[in-house]
Amino acid sequence: MPTIAKVLQARIADVARWTIFDSLAVIFESSERADPLIEEAFQGFALEEGDAPIPVECYFMRKPSGTAGENSASARLATKYRRRPIQELGLSGY
């Protein structure tokens, strides 16, 4: 998990170099086994623009029970996220 987390963090930082934004929300599909590993790997993950820190928040999205298909949470998030504040999505953060 630490290696995958470092690759993902590097990719996020790479995208951040050519994207204008003032905060970042990273959303993971919740998994009983992986949640603690993700929390540990992303603890302290930060971005800066110049000397100014960019707020980074991480969230877990639970897959509803009885949902078929591995991309259901992603599709649900894409549908719900369109121009809505992150606080309205019903995600649990850490």
Sign of CA dihedral 91, 76, 9, 40: positive
Is residue 29 packed enough to be buried (19+ CB in 10 Å), middle (13-18) or exposed (0-12)?
A: middle
Quote the CA–CA distance of 91 and 28 in Å, as a whole number. Answer: 10
Place of tokens 């959303």: 27
What integer is the mean pLDDT of 62-87?
56
> Is pLDDT of 29 > 80?
yes
Q: How far is CA 94 from the centre of its chain?
A: 11
In the predicted model, what is the mean pLDDT of the chain? Answer: 78
Tell me the domain boundaries of the chain: 2-93
Residue 20: predicted pLDDT: 85
